[in-house]
Amino acid sequence: MHTKKIAAALTAAVLCLSAMTAPEPVIKPESVSAASISDIPQEYRTACDWIWANRIETEGSCKGWSTIYDQIIAGNGTVQYILIWQSYETLTLAQRQKLPQMLEDALNKWNDCLVGYDDWPVEHVNVKVIGYAVLDKSVLQDLQPDEVVYTETAVPWTRDWLIESGMGNSGIPELQPAEPTAISRYAHWQDKNWSYNGSYDNRFDMYLHGIHGMIDMGGVGYQYGQILSDHSIEGLLSGTTSEHILLHEMGHGFGYPDYYGAEGASDGFPPGGFPGGQGSIMMAGSCGYINTFDKYFAQYTWSKLKDEPGRFDLAGFSPVTTEPAVTETTAPATTTATTAISQPQITEAAFTDTIAEMQLNGNGGVIRFAEHGSFKFRGDAYYGGDDTKNLAYYEAGDQIRIRFTYDAQSSEIRQISELELEQNVRAVRGDVDKNGRFERNDLVLVQRWLLSQPNTVLAEWQAGDLDGNGRLNAADLTLMKRELMHI
């Protein structure tokens, strides 16, 4: 059973290992025409101002000249990675060959926010993977002569923390591959004379770190790189895992904060919330894609940083261009085929019915109603970015009222205009304030209750007893954080 009303971003992460697959929805923020901060719409600029003053400057997340903004420009449009593989799962040559393109596709979803804005000089970021740090060289199947492998090990700084926080288990290897710090830009950006083994071209800007035993719904990120489970990375390479957690952790690389606290709080989000009503990909559980607010904030941050004396050499910027990867398709030389494209037949439906069965994967799934049959649907806040219209929140036994359009040929839902819960199959797990939703306020209430803060009332404390031991304690709070915020 999965928790209702948790935002689609989390739902997609939890369900990414389902055997069922569906096309990944392509979601981009709406086109905006801002050329500088002064062109950003006032409501967005007000929110950005608050975040900059209360989060970025206070936390210093953009202070170091090691953000992804810095990496891209210092590398003339190229970002170089190594893969740290803290796992004994094998990696085929085909998987390794997909790795640069997978990272490049994700990184360019952020770069696309900046193209054409306020002298940003990069139209497309190229990604190279320049080496692999592994526990056992044999996990790299069919190793090629030009592949660089590092086999030294170190005591992992993440292991105990991941286990204690509930983001990992004792299966995490007790050693981790040691990254080659001599060529790490993050380790040496302050030393302009650092040689990087003779040439800046030898450096790596970030790593992608895969850890066996880490939960698949979790992630860690900063300017050093992104940390995910080994299974999540394998899923990203095969196209069966949603990339929203990777995008979120890359966001930290640009300097963007998490929004775990309450509205206006020191670790929270802007007073009045996020313009556009879509939350932010950096607010865990509120949005599973880079939305319009995220795009404006990426632009805003660049404008704030670009005029910092000595930080960016835009005059000397010379982008390195590479030919896009080409996948060859062999077809018979003597025949020419024309494929007819079937046009969708869009039909409207509206009814109240009970969910008989729900099959989910990271991109949505199939819902079967007791009286009205089965329909395919997409998840991660797909329907207009409105997370109240995400069917992935519901489960078998729920009765819902729904109005939607769908393709009669494929039975795929195209747009949901109305969606209301008529009857829960059971009480909502985690909903201690008993408002029908498991959300951040429930987490805050439990934390305050555990600290014995005055005037803290739990309308239904049993809903917070996630480990089912009949008590509400810090272990339940950890589980609530894990389920709601994947931290």
* End residue of a domain, out of 366, 387, 421: 421
> Quick one: tokens of 340?
């007819």
pLDDT computed for residue 306 by the predictor: 94
Do residues 99 and 198 both lie within one domain?
A: yes
Is the distance from CB of 135 to CB of 173 less than 8 angstroms?
Answer: yes
pLDDT at position 444 is: 85
pLDDT computed for residue 259 by the predictor: 94
Tell me: do 299 and 356 sit in the same domain: no
- Strand-strand pairing, 225-229 and 206-211: parallel
Q: Could you give the number of structural domains in the chain?
A: 3
Report the C-alpha gap between 31 and 274 in whole angstroms: 18
For tokens 């085909």, the residue is 94
Per-residue pLDDT at 372? 83
Residue 235 pairs in a beta bridge with none
The verdict on 417 and 459 lying in the same domain is no
Instruction: Identify whether the C-beta of residue 123 lies closer than 8 Å to the C-beta of residue 115.
Output: yes
- Domain final residue pick, 306, 337, 369: 306
Name the DSSP letter for residue 262: -
Burial of 48 by CB count in 10 Å (0-12 exposed, 13-18 middle, 19+ buried)? buried
Chain segment 73-91, per-residue pLDDT in tens: 999 999 999 999 999 999 9
Predicted local confidence at residue 203, as pLDDT: 97
Q: With respect to residue 147, please indicate whether it lies within any of the assigned structural domains.
A: yes
Q: Are 270 and 415 in a shared domain?
A: no
pLDDT at 363: 63
Residue 101 inside a domain? The answer is yes
In a domain, residue 413? The reply is yes
Three-class DSSP category at 207: strand
The reply to whether 450 falls in a domain is yes
Same domain, 404 and 456: no
* Same domain for 182 and 101: yes
Residue 177's DSSP bridge partners are 153
Based on the fold, state whether residues 67 and 196 are members of the same structural domain: yes
pLDDT at position 207 is 98
H helix runs in 75-215, sequence order: 93-111, 159-165, 185-188
Residues 405 and 446 in one domain: no
> What local confidence, expressed as pLDDT, does residue 463 receive?
82
* Crossing angle (nearest 10°) for helices 230-238 and 93-111: 80
Is residue 322 domain-resident?
Answer: no
CATH number for 395: 2.40.50.140
Residue span of the structural domain in which 100 resides:
31-306
Please give the structure tokens belonging to residue 419.
Answer: 């969606």
**Under-70 pLDDT residues of the chain:** 1-34, 320-344, 361-363, 379-388, 409, 424-427, 485-487
Would you say residue 4 lies in a domain?
no
Does residue 98 share a domain with residue 156?
yes
Looking at the structure, do residues 383 and 460 belong to the same domain, yes or no? no
In this structure, is residue 397 part of a structural domain? yes
290 lies in the same domain as 200: yes
- Contact by Cβ (8 Å): 412, 406: yes
Per-residue pLDDT tens digits for 16-66 = 222 222 333 444 444 555 688 999 999 999 999 999 999 999 999 999 999
| Domain annotation covers residue 452 | yes
Quick: pLDDT tens for 188-247: 999 989 999 999 999 999 999 999 999 988 899 999 999 999 999 999 999 988 899 999
Residues 384 and 245 in one domain: no
**Number of other CB atoms surrounding residue 347 within 10 Å:** 13
The amino acid occupying position 405 is T
